Structure 1
Amino acid sequence: MSFIKIFTFGLATIAAIYAYPSIPVLKSSSVDIEYCEDGNAPENLSIINEPRYQLYNTHAHNIKLMSDCDTLNLTLKELESQKFNFITAQGDTTLVEIFRDDANSYEYPSQEMRKKNPNGKFGKDQAIFDISALMHAISQIHPDIYYACPQIKLVTATKAVLDNLPDSVSRIDIYNAAAPLVAMIGDGHTHLSFPFNDLFTEELYRMPVLFYVQQDGTLQCRMSPDDIIPYKAKILSINGHKPEDMINSMLPYESGERKHFRMMRIRHDFPALFQILYGADSYDIEYIDPATNRVTTTTIKAMQWGDLCKRWISHEPKNQVVSDDYSYTVDSINNVAIMDFRSFTDTEKMSAFADSMFTELREKNIGNLIIDIRNNGGGNSAVGDTLLRYIAPVPFRQFDRVIIKTSNLLNKIEDADDLPGVYLFENTDDVIAPRTEEEKHYNGKIYLLTSNFTFSSAADFSWVFKEIGTGTVIGEETGGMNVCFGDITMYEMPLSGLRCSISYKRFWQFNADENDIHGTLPDIEVPAQDALEKTLQLIKTGK
C-alpha cells in the first residue's frame, strides 16, 4: 500500500484547544475509514486518536477519503501537503496531514492505465508504459547499465521497439519485445523471465518433440510421440531450419556476458522460444538415425498436451535420484577421491561434509583429490570459503572489490532503508587463513574440473583456487567471469507482471584485471566431458 503512515507527534493539547476550523473536516463514527488513490480500488485505514497529530505520505494526485457518514476529496501536487480534522462521534479530534512524495510515475500507473482490454490484452500505450518502466527500473538499480552496450545503442534500440509495437499486445508479445533489450545489457544475472504458463496451455498445439540442446548448438531427440524419432537422434533441420540457425535466432533473447551463459539459458527456454519463433501446424524433421546412420525425414503434426502425455516415450531413468549438492567417493586402490560438487549451498552442511570427507582422506592416506564443478551454477560464496580453508596453500580471499548501488526503488523492492548512492568496498588486507595440520588441512594433490557451465560462485571458487596455486585446473574456461555483476533483486513490471532479475552489485575477484576480463582458464584444456578421464590418466601416470 503506497498510502503509508510515517510518523506521529503528540500534539493533543494543541489539537484540543484549536479545532483547526479553517481546514477541511472528515466526520466518522469510528476510527476505520476507506481511501482511494487516483481512482484505484478502496483500501482500509485506521486513524487513531492518540497522539492527536498523524502524518501520512502518498504518491497519489487525487485522494478520496470515505467514512461511514462522510466523504472528503483532496488534490495534491508533488511535494505538497494538506491537512484535515478527523472528528469522531465521541467528539475526539485528530489533525491529519497528508504529504505527496516526489514519486516515480512508473511505480504507480493510474487506474485508466491499468485497465485491460476485454480480450485480456494490453493496448500500445500500456505496453510502452510497461517496457519503459522496466528499462527505467534497470537504470535505477543496475550498477552500470551501459557497461557492455553503449548508451546510444540501447536507447536507439528501445525507441525502435516502442515505436513498432502493435495496437494490441499480450504478455508474450511484451516479453518478445523487451527481452532482447534486457539481454543487450550483457549481464547474465539481469534477465527477463519467459511467461511459460501464458504460452503452454493445455489447448496449445505445440511441437511434439522434446530436444537436448548441446553445448555446440546441435540438437538431439529427447522424447517423441511413439518413438517416431529415435532417442538421441541428431536433428539436421526442422521445417528447413538448421539447429545452428535456430539457436542463433534465440541468443538475442538470453542474457549473459558470454555465449556460454546464454546457451545455458537456451537449454531451459528452448521449447518456449521455439514455439514463438518457429511454431507451426506440422513439422518436417530431418535427422540421422543412430541405428543405421542414415538421414531420415518424418512429418509430425503439432499436438496438445493431453495427447502428448499419452504418446511420449521416455528413455530417461524413472525415479532418477537427484544428486546431492555435494558428495564424494574414495578409490583406495588408485589413491584418489572424487568430490561431485553441484551447488554452493548451506555453509553449515558444507562444514560437516568437509570435516567428514577430509577425515576419511587422511585416515586412508588418499593422495589425490578431484573436485568436479563442471555442472555447478553457483550459490553462496561462503560455502567456497569453507572448502578452500581445507585445501588452500596460503591465506586467501575471493574478492578484492565490490561496488554496491542502492536506490529508492531497490529499497522499496527489498523493504530496506539504505541511503541511495553508489558505494565502493575494497578488501585489500583481509584474508582467510587455511586450516592447520591439526585442523585437518589436506596436503595431497588437488585437481579441479571446470566447464563453460561453471558459473557464479562456482566460477569465483575456481578463480581463487587457481590464483593461489591450490592445484591443477582441467577442462574448459568457466562461464563466470573474473569481473562480473551479481546479487539480484526481482522486479515485477507494473502492468504485465513479467518478472526481471536485476543485479545491484559488481564484483572483482582476487587479483582480477579490469582490462582482462575472462573466466578461469584451465591449466590443461580439454572438452568438459573428457576432463575426468584426462585427470585420472594424469594421476595414474604420476604426472
Structure 2
Amino acid sequence: MKTIKINFVLILLVLLSFSTKSQQLRVLTPIQMTNDVDTLVRFLEETHLNPYYKYSKENFVKDVALIKKGLTKHLTVIDFYLKIEPLLAKLQDGHTDLPVPKELYNLQDPYELPYVFILSTKAPYIICKMSKANLPSLIPINSEIISINNMPAKRIVEDIVNLNTGETPDFRAEFGARNLSFYLENLYKTNGNYKVKYKFGSQIKLIEIEGIKQKKLSEIVNKIDLKTSKGNNEKSNFDFEVVNNVAIINFRKFDWNGFRKFADSAFSVIKNNKINNLIINLIDNGGGESEVGDEFLQYLLSKPFKQYNKVVIKNSQLYKARLKKNIGTKKPDKEELEFLNQKNGTVDTFYVDSNKIKENSFRYNGNVYLLVNSQTYSSAADFAQCFKYYKRGLIIGEETGGLIKSFGDIVTTHLPNSNLRFTISSTLYYNVGVDEEDFCGVIPDFYSTSDKALKKAFEIIENQK
C-alpha cells in the first residue's frame, strides 16, 4: 500500500507539472485565432451601444482584416493577446478591454524589474519612483529613464499606450505602468536582463540590473508584511488627517466597506474643531460604487442633487446572461422579467431623479478643494463632475481620465479558444450638466501635476486668508 501511495503521488505531481507547462506553452492555430477575433467583433457589436464613437467602424474593420491576414503561424495565447489588444485600445473605452492575462503569464514565474515607475506621454517619459520590497536601489529615486535595453523611453511608453484601453493616452500610460515588466519581457524579450540608462541631475549613467523572479519577490514582500503589519499592510480605501488646521480626506476607492463609520468620524472631527478648509484627494482613485459618491455628497451638499442625468442601456445576450446570474435561483421581479423579455439590440433610456437631502448633523459648509488627475476614473470622475456642476468648491489637478459622458457597466465573457477575458461596456452614462458632445474629462479650475496638487491646494488656501 505504501508503494502504491508513493507512485500515485509521483504520478499526480508529473500530471500537475505537465498541466502547468502545457498552459504556459499552449499555442493557438490560425483558425482558432481567427475564430476568436470574429467572436470578439460579434460580442462587441452585439453588446456595446456605440463602440465606434471615437474610431470609425470603417477603420476598425480594416484593422481586423489586417490582423486576420497576418495570423498565419501558431502563436502562444500571450503573443495572440499582444496582437489583438491594440484593436480595442483604438476604441478609447477603458471599460471595453482584454485585460492582461496575468494568471497565465505568472505561471512562468517571470522576471520582474523590481522598481516602481511613472509613465507619461510627455517628457520625461519614464521616472523611477522607488524600488520594490525595500530592495537596494541601483537607480536613484526620481531619476529619468532614458532607455531600457537600448529601447528609448518614448518608444516604450508609446508601445504600452497602444496596449491599454482608456479614454486618454495619459491614463493608458499610467495604467500600463503597473505591468511594465510584463511589457518589457513580452515586447522586447529582456529575459530578466536590463540595461538601464538614466539621468539624475546632470549625470547620465548606464547600469545593468539583474531581474528577480516573481515568486522570490513575492516572498520578500510577504516577509515585510509579516514584520510591519502581521500580514496586511494594504492602505485603507480612505483616511483622514488634519494639517495646519486643514482637513484632508484621501479617497482611494469608492467602497462601502467602513465608509459610513469613517465619514461620520472624519466630519465629526471637522465639526468639533471648526475647520474651515477641507481637501478631498481623488488622485489615482479608479472609481468603485457610485452610490458611495451619492452618500459622500450628502455631507457636502444642502440641496437635492444627482450625479447622472440619464442612463442608456443596450439589451444583449451577454447583459441578460449577467442579470440571470445575479438573480440566481430567485424568481425575477416584474422589472427584471420585463428586461429579460426585451429583444436583443433594443435600447432603453432611464432618466435619473435627484437625491433628496437627508438629515445629517455632520453636513459641512466650509471651503472644499478637490484634487483629481488622469487616473481619477469612473465613479470618482462622476463625483468630480457633480461637485463641479453644483459649484461646491475648487478643483485642482489634471483633467480626469474618466469622462463626464462615458461608457461603463461592464459585462464579462471569454473568447472561445484563447479563453482571454473580454469586458464590454453595456451602458452609456450622462453625468449631470452634460451635453451630447461632451466626451471629455472633468476640467480642473487650477492645473497641477499629481505630485504638486496638494501643495497647490495649500497655496490657494493661504492666499485666500
Structure 2 length as normaliser, TM-score? Answer: 0.81
Between the aligned partners of 1:372 and 1:308, the Cα distance in structure 2 is: 31
Selected match of 1:288 from 199, 206, 210: 199
Superposed, 1:134-533 pairs within 5 Å as 134-202=40-108, 206=111, 208-215=113-120, 216=122, 217-220=125-128, 222-223=130-131, 227-230=137-140, 232-280=142-190, 282-288=193-199, 293-300=202-209, 319=229, 321-331=233-243, 334-346=244-256, 349-415=258-324, 417-419=340-342, 420-427=344-351, 430-435=353-358, 439-533=361-455
Aligned position for 2:7: none
Between the aligned partners of 1:542 and 1:283, the Cα distance in structure 2 is: 49
Shift of 1:411: 2.1
By relative contact order (CA 8 Å, sep 6+), the higher-ranking structure is 2
Q: 1:119 to 1:476 in 2, by over 3 A?
A: closer
Higher helix share: 2
Computing the radius of gyration from Cα coordinates, the structure with the larger value is 1
Aligned position for 1:27: none
Q: 1:400 to 1:303 in 2, by over 3 A?
A: closer
Q: 1:287 to 1:326 in 2, by over 3 A?
A: same
Partner amino acid, structure 1, of 2:118? V
Shift of 1:200: 4.0
Between the aligned partners of 1:118 and 1:219, the Cα distance in structure 2 is: 32
Say what the alpha-carbon RMSD is for the aligned residues: 3.0
The sequence identity of aligned pairs, in percent, is: 28
Q: 1:303 to 1:415 in 2, by over 3 A?
A: same
Shift of 1:285: 2.1
SS of match in other structure, 1:253: coil
Contact persistence 2:160–2:173 (CA under 8 A): no
Between the aligned partners of 2:453 and 2:70, the Cα distance in structure 1 is: 48
Deviations 1:184-241, CA, capped at 9 Å, x for gaps: 221001110122243344565x464544133453132744986444455432112221
Between the aligned partners of 2:385 and 2:346, the Cα distance in structure 1 is: 26
Contact persistence 1:208–1:302 (CA under 8 A): yes
Q: 1:324 to 1:223 in 2, by over 3 A?
A: closer
Between the aligned partners of 2:114 and 2:262, the Cα distance in structure 1 is: 41
Shift of 1:432: 1.6
SS of match in other structure, 2:299: helix
Q: 1:408 to 1:156 in 2, by over 3 A?
A: same
Q: 1:233 to 1:539 in 2, by over 3 A?
A: closer
Contact persistence 2:241–2:247 (CA under 8 A): yes
Superposed, 1:68-107 pairs within 5 Å as none
Q: 1:508 to 1:306 in 2, by over 3 A?
A: closer
Contact persistence 1:207–1:283 (CA under 8 A): no
Q: 1:310 to 1:443 in 2, by over 3 A?
A: closer
Higher strand share: 1
Shift of 1:155: 0.7
Between the aligned partners of 2:131 and 2:271, the Cα distance in structure 1 is: 46
Q: 1:524 to 1:128 in 2, by over 3 A?
A: same
**How many pairs align?**
419
Q: 1:532 to 1:409 in 2, by over 3 A?
A: closer
Partner amino acid, structure 1, of 2:309? D
Shift of 1:427: 2.5
Between the aligned partners of 2:301 and 2:90, the Cα distance in structure 1 is: 38
Contact persistence 1:452–1:476 (CA under 8 A): yes
SS of match in other structure, 2:63: helix
Between the aligned partners of 1:252 and 1:395, the Cα distance in structure 2 is: 42
